[in-house]
Structure 1
């Protein structure tokens, strides 16, 4: 009798279960005994596991599903808590809290992922936003720090990105990848060239305390902006090449060339990081070494609402000013046509008036004589009798 293959969840749910457990594709590949590209193909649905690999993969997904269901049952909070223990390999850059936890400390991440076979609980928009923020914000702050090299700017970038996400929450909530939407917005804000004109960002920040971290961060900041972003997304976050190309708005060949040139530039100054695995580990270590904390989600939502109210009032005031200026113009404008003053015409036969010139010597003498003769009044004229 032929044994039926082990059941597997849909491809789109496999990735969600892995992310809910804070596992990378490399960690799943190590547990199943395959390459990382194979796990990526399984999650995308391009291929299907067979034989013993299918059984091992199905068993792993079943354990992740069971852990998620137990957590959803025990937790009364709207956002389910999935607790796993970190493996020996490093997680994606910024995935863990700073500092890096010890093996005896669980890593907890709130992920809005429904469990198979259970009905997801209804959440308010604020609860869904808080769950997304708790899952993405700590990692995004550390990734933004590797991009810009400034701690305060990294926190500000993540805060502005989530404020914009809260303003457009109906759009972000139905997005295929809300975390990617927020990540792209935070990266764009962190890499904006206009920050150099702000007084608070004109002076360099103190470098990391460790000398090796300072060298690596200096190498990253010397890379061109597209190369730095591509390197962080592919070797740091763990996206594949098409996803990296889509997020950086470039073609796949151009993204591959940027990645190769960025790796060559890093390996030229740090030969020990020529291996992608070593580079991934060092990026995670540098990101986790800095104690970067994101603000509370309630403060982010309050700030977003405050900015929305401010710009709404500014738009209303600007509209009222335009209406007032238009009304004043209509009130003071002439009601009938007034012809313009015609230009002057030259009259023939009349010499033009000339301006008085300088006086001659004779005229100066005459003027002096006249002024001296009339000081005591004019002379009397006496009529003579004939």
Structure 2
């Protein structure tokens, strides 16, 4: 008795993992099987069951993708560096193209990918155990690419040369005019091929909010490029625009080495800063007074002093005192000594 294609297929989540392990997008797999991209998405989400010749072709393709994975399972375990390099080789080229769609800048796209993988190597135990390492790196790269602080960096102030094709320029301009959250939602859903709940989770939004952003982003793009009102055509053009740019990320060994050197630098800087804080604290304790010294009270004006007398004619009493002093026989300090009357 012949088994049906559905009985030969892995669970829906495993179907997606196998497709990604073969570096295939939903559109590429759909073209190989002979169905639409929406059909592949429904198969991977478990909303429909493959059947007929398409289902058999789908089962054979997944089985072929599973053979290399099973061969690696039987062999010796990969070292952390080998596992990192495998993830980098699988994700980095496509991620650089996606970052270019988000920013319109080639150098910034490469920089975002390099930053994301350097951070992934620093936290490799956490990333290696994540249920979706590619999604972890993608989220970090998107956050870095869309950071508003890049506008203040001198190297990113001047515009880069636009694409040579006028159609590509029109699509890229339409994307860059979208708000960052709309642009990211559109790239994830219509470019990467995530479903709506996954897009909402990665953009930290609710599913209705992500759906609203997607609809408004599509409308804004279609207003500038009318023939992209069809989602399938929009997906095709996003893939073509991203693939038209030759964005070659650095080698994985370079990313790991640079990340390790940067870690050493910041670790030493943190140690030096801590030593400086400890030294300044010790100096303060050494030179600080050991007992309380009350502050000196501020100066106060003397009250009750009569104003100086103005120059003028002497009174009779003053004249008599003057005459008495003039006729006194003593002089010097002795004249001020009281004399008994």
Do they superpose with TM above 0.5?
A: yes
Which of 1 and 2 has greater Rg?
Answer: 2
CA distance in 1, matches of 2:263, 2:110: 20
Q: Structure 1: how far apart are the matches of 2:141 and 2:158?
A: 22
CA–CA separation in structure 2 for the residues paired with 1:57 and 1:16: 14
Q: Which residue of 2 aligns with 1:58?
A: 59
- 1:301 counterpart residue number: 256
1:338 maps to 293
CA deviations over 1:30-49 (Å, ceiling 9, x no partner) = 65566544543443446655
- Tell me the CA shift for residue 24 of structure 1: 3.0
| C-alpha distance 142-325 of structure 1, shift in aligned 2 (>3 A) | same
TM-score by length of 2: 0.82
Q: Is the 8 A contact 2:23 2:90 kept in 1?
A: no
Corresponding residue for residue 237 of structure 1: 192
SS at match of 2:70: coil
Return the alpha-carbon distance in structure 2 between the equivalents of residues 179 and 301 of structure 1.
17
User: Of 128, 131, 144, which aligns to 2:99?
Assistant: 144
**Residue by residue, what CA displacement relative to the aligned partner does 1:286-316 show, whole Å, maximum 9, x if unpaired?**
1111121101111111110111111101110
Change (3 A) 1:29 1:352: farther
State the number of aligned residues: 306
CA–CA distance in 1 between the matches of 2:95 and 2:57? 32
Against the structure 1 CA distance between its residues 28 and 265, is the aligned structure 2 distance closer, same or farther, given a 3 Å change threshold? Answer: same
Per-residue deviation, 1:132: 0.6
- Calculate the TM-score normalised by the size of structure 1: 0.73
Separation in 2, partners of 1:284, 1:30: 14
Question: What CA deviation, in whole Å up to 9, does each residue of 1:175-194 have, x standing for no partner?
Answer: 11111111111111111111
Instruction: Tell me the distance in 1 between the aligned counterparts of 2:306 and 2:132.
Output: 87
5+ residue gaps, structure 1: 69-113, 354-386
**Corresponding residue SS for 1:158:** helix
Which residue does 1:256 correspond to in 2?
Answer: 211
Indicate the larger mover: 26-35 or 145-154: 26-35
Matched residue SS, 1:115: helix
> 1:313: which partner in 2?
268
Structure 1 match to 2:163: 208
Matched, 1:219 2:147: no
Q: Label 1:131 to 1:195 Cα distance change in 2 as closer, same or farther (>3 A).
A: same
Counterpart CA distance in 2 for 1:256 and 1:280 is: 16
Structure having the larger proportion of residues in helix: 2
2:18 is the counterpart of 1:17: yes
User: CA shift at 1:9, angstroms?
Assistant: 2.5
Distance 2:138 2:97 in 1: 12
Sort the Cα spacing of 1:27 and 1:159 in 2 relative to 1 into closer, same or farther, 3 A.
closer
Q: Give the CA RMSD over aligned residues.
A: 2.4
Structure 2 runs not aligned, ≥5 long: 309-341
1:329-382 residue CA offsets vs partner (Å, 9 max, x unmatched): 1111111121221233444322589xxxxxxxxxxxxxxxxxxxxxxxxxxxxx
Q: 1:35 to 1:138 in 2, by over 3 A?
A: closer
User: Are 2:247 and 1:292 equivalent residues in the alignment?
Assistant: yes
- Between the aligned partners of 2:267 and 2:72, the Cα distance in structure 1 is 44
Distance between the aligned counterparts of 1:167 and 1:117, measured in 2?
25
When residues 198 and 247 of structure 1 are mapped into structure 2, their CA distance, relative to the original with a 3 A threshold, is: same
Give, in whole Å, the separation in 2 of the partners of 1:30 and 1:206. 33
